[in-house]
Chains A and B, each alone.
Chain A
Amino acid sequence: EVQLVQSGAEVKKPGESLKISCKGSGYSFTSYWIGWVRQMPGKGLEWMGIIYPGDSDTRYSPSFQGQVTISADKSISTAYLQWSSLKASDTAMYYCVRHRDQLLDYFDYWGQGTLVTVSS
């Protein structure tokens, strides 16, 4: 069974750093693109960026370029999303998603989400 299991909720202060994780299982982790999707409170879905764990090829949506860093450790089948300096506007639910097959694709599996709260 394909699963994406994300790390737990985080409460941080503005200016702090953060790295959240997404562990894949039940499939060949290195053969599928993994993306991240943001959902701000009460709002819609925004695609942030993507990584191919097989070779660490990483791409970002223009809206998120320079704002976050996506990485992966294929030895432990885990992808990461990190911030170097959080802002209150980063408060959101973050989902990792598996792309079905291609760089531009649909998302056939979703993690359970990681809620990030940034507040002073």
Chain B
Amino acid sequence: EIVLTQSPATLSLSPGERATLSCRASQSVSSYLAWYQQKPGQAPRLLIYDASNRATGIPARFSGSGSGTDFTLTISSLEPEDFAVYYCQQRSNWPQTFGPGTKVDIK
């Protein structure tokens, strides 16, 4: 099973700042990595798939990069609604797995 590690566990930032979240895989997942956002009391929603493609309706301030074992989600300028937990997920190997999440909270 591929293990995904996310860092940092918590990121404290102010609105308007840039957020950089990391996801590292225990072995190569090629580009088969997604990012999800989960707000309190809500189901997660797909933000980025195949490492760098924005899902339908996702604002351009969200971008993803990376391949192999190291991936990054960048939020260029945080909006108030972006404070949430972010999970990465791989679909390269069975079973698909999630990382433990990074919480982005207001500084």
Point out residues on A near B: beta carbons under 8 Å.
44-47, 61-63, 95, 100, 102, 104-108, 110-113
- Contact status A110-B44, CB under 8 Å: yes
> Does B1 make an interface contact (CB < 8 A)?
yes
Closest to A49 in B: B95
Partner of A47, one of B32, B55, B98: B98
Chain B residue contacts of A95, Cβ below 8 A: 43-44
Chain A residue contacts of B74, Cβ below 8 A: none
Point out residues on B near A: beta carbons under 8 Å.
1, 32, 34, 36, 43-46, 49, 55, 87, 89, 91-101
- Contact status A108-B91, CB under 8 Å: no
- Contact status A62-B1, CB under 8 Å: yes
User: Main SS of the interface on chain A?
Assistant: loop
Chain B residue contacts of A100, Cβ below 8 A: 49
User: Main SS of the interface on chain B?
Assistant: loop
- Contact status A61-B95, CB under 8 Å: yes
Chain B residue contacts of A113, Cβ below 8 A: 43
Beyond A44-B99, A44-B100, A62-B1, is A104–B43 a contact (Cβ under 8 Å)?
Answer: no
Closest to A60 in B: B95
* Whole-angstrom distance between the Cβ of A95 and the nearest chain B Cβ: 6
| A-B contacts, 26 listed (Cβ < 8 Å) | A44-B98, A45-B87, A45-B89, A46-B98, A47-B89, A47-B98, A63-B95, A100-B49, A102-B91, A104-B32, A104-B92, A104-B96, A105-B91, A105-B96, A106-B34, A106-B89, A106-B91, A107-B44, A107-B46, A107-B89, A108-B46, A108-B55, A110-B43, A110-B45, A111-B43, A113-B43
Beyond A110-B44, A112-B43, A113-B43, is A104–B91 a contact (Cβ under 8 Å)?
Answer: yes
